[in-house]
Amino acid sequence: MDYVFTGFRQVEAIRHYGFEGIASDRSRTKYNVQADMALLRKYAIALQDVPLLCRRFLQEREGNDDLVSVMMNEDAMRKYADARTALLEDAARKRKQHRTPLSNKIGQAWRGERIESPKAPA
């Protein structure tokens, strides 16, 4: 099933994200995923990431079509935050480290003494 984001609305501290599920026979079902703003802040999840996180949440629970309105649980948010932290740590580890020079005389070859060319007779 494909899920298309249709919008959101906020009621107090709960944000409701609307999706339309499109089945293989092109039938459409409306879904509502609710996210608690306090939990989003707790796990430092950016608001622009939440629609994709909700879509992933719907895809993981696919097959439970009896619930068209569901609250995203804290485990899903924690799982996302842990995966994001692992990716950031991996990227930091892979980042190229500054290499120290092998010698303190780097650049001496081209900065050394000049050899003056013989002057042409006048």
**Segments forming the whole domain that contains residue 60:** 2-77
Residue 121 in any domain: the answer is no
Residue 58 in any domain: the answer is yes
Residue 82 in any domain: the answer is no
Asked if residue 14 has pLDDT above 90, the reply is yes
Provide the pLDDT for residue 36: 93
Residue 96 in any domain: the answer is no
* Type of residue numbered 61: R
Provide the pLDDT for residue 121: 67
Comparing 71 with 122, the larger pLDDT belongs to: 71
Provide the pLDDT for residue 92: 84
Residue 83 in any domain: the answer is no
Residue 13 in any domain: the answer is yes
Q: How many domains does the chain have?
A: 1
- The pair of structure tokens assigned to 20 is 């339309």
Distance CA 20, CA 113 (A): 75
The model's pTM: 0.68
Residue 95 in any domain: the answer is no
Query: What is the phi/psi pair of residue 70, to 5°?
Result: -140, 145
Distance CA 48, CA 63 (A): 27
Residue 84 in any domain: the answer is no
Asked if residue 48 has pLDDT above 70, the reply is yes
Provide the pLDDT for residue 122: 61
Task: Indicate the burial class of 84 (C-beta count within 10 angstroms; 0-12, 13-18, 19 or more).
Answer: middle
- The pair of structure tokens assigned to 99 is 């290499």
